[in-house]
Amino acid sequence: MVADNNNNQAETRFDFDHWMKLAEENPEVFEQKRQDKIQAFIKEVPKQRQQRLIGLQWRIDTEIKLANNPVDACLKIHQMMMDSVFETDGLLNTLTLKKCVNKPGTVKNIFDIKK
């Protein structure tokens, strides 16, 4: 992580090159630091959401362990993300329904209700 001082505000941003180098040179340290960052993030999330994130991280870690290689792991995690967006009960459908339900008259247009 790198500190970036814009407008006297310290921001932390992800330093890909640093993490890539660490993964190449010392995979064990990389993995420990990765786990530490993930756990620190989860602890900052409201309590009611932490269990969901812990479960999701477990699924991601399991896919990584079961993968044949890093590219395979990446593809499996990518598919998990796509599924969470495009499945029947996924993010896209949820957002679309909320948008439609919150607009007056939209629900009748979706179901083509005739008066």
63-98: per-residue pLDDT in tens? 999 999 999 999 999 999 999 988 887 888 887 776
Q: Is the dihedral of CA 105, 107, 109, 115 positive or negative?
A: negative
- Asked whether the beta carbons of 3 and 12 are under 8 A apart, the reply is yes
- Asked whether the beta carbons of 17 and 6 are under 8 A apart, the reply is no
Output DSSP code: residue 8: T
Task: Give me 28's structure tokens.
Answer: 């064990």
Question: Residue 13: which pLDDT band, with cuts at 50, 70 and 90?
Answer: confident
CB atoms within 10 A of CB 35: 12
What is the distance between the alpha carbons of residues 105 and 73, in angstroms, rounded to a whole number? Answer: 44
Higher pLDDT, 94 or 50: 50
What is the distance between the alpha carbons of residues 90 and 71, in angstroms, rounded to a whole number? Answer: 25
Output DSSP code: residue 14: -
Q: Has this prediction a pTM greater than 0.75? A: no
